[in-house]
């Protein structure tokens, strides 16, 4: 199916464990993003990627690692999960804005609810 999918939808892990959240998009969009959303808060950008093998930090990158070996995948890894990383994680993708300032609507996945116990 076309679109952007995240897996798993729900995950419970223990403190100190490594966990990877997956994000896959079928549009070949250049840009991909990872956000976290905590209860009662807005979305905070963790990392983003402009293309395969190009990633950059967002607002709250500490404790997270990303990679983008293929355009369609953008996994997010919590190297050693902490309770403060309990959150809902959203992945998004968009086309490159290019030089004409064209509309770069971002499409979001359904989210992964991660609980660290």
Residues of this chain that bind another protein (CB under 8 A): 31, 33, 35, 41-45, 48, 50, 56, 58-59, 90, 92, 94, 96-111
Q: How far is the CB of 15 from another protein (least distance, A)?
A: 25
- Spatial separation of the C-alpha atoms in residues 38 and 103, rounded to whole Å: 28
**27 or 79, CB closer to another protein?**
27
Q: How far is the CB of 97 from another protein (least distance, A)?
A: 4
Q: Which DSSP string do the residues of 21-86 spell out, in sequence order? A: EEEEESS--SEEEEEEE-TT--EEEEEEEEETTEEEE-S--TTEEE--SSTTB--EEESS--GGG-
Q: How far is the CB of 116 from another protein (least distance, A)?
A: 19
**102 or 117, CB closer to another protein?**
102
**80 or 104, CB closer to another protein?**
104
**14 or 105, CB closer to another protein?**
105
Q: Which helix (H) or strand (E) is 88 found in, with range?
A: strand 87-94
- Spatial separation of the C-alpha atoms in residues 24 and 47, rounded to whole Å: 15
Q: How far is the CB of 94 from another protein (least distance, A)?
A: 6
DSSP state letter for 111: -
């Amino acid at each position: 199916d076309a679109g952007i999918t995240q897996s798993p939808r729900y995950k419970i892990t223990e403190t100190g464990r490594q966990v990877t959240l997956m994000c896959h998009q079928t549009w070949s969009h250049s840009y991909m993003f990872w956000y976290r959303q905590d209860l009662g808060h807005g979305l905070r950008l963790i990392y983003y990627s402009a293309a395969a093998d190009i990633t950059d930090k967002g607002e709250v990158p500490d404790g997270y690692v990303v990679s983008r070996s293929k355009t369609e995948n953008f996994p997010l890894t919590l190297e050693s999960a902490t309770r403060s990383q309990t959150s809902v994680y959203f992945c998004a993708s968009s086309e490159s804005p290019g030089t004409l300032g064209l509309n770069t609507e971002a499409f979001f996945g359904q989210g992964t609810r991660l609980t660290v116990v």
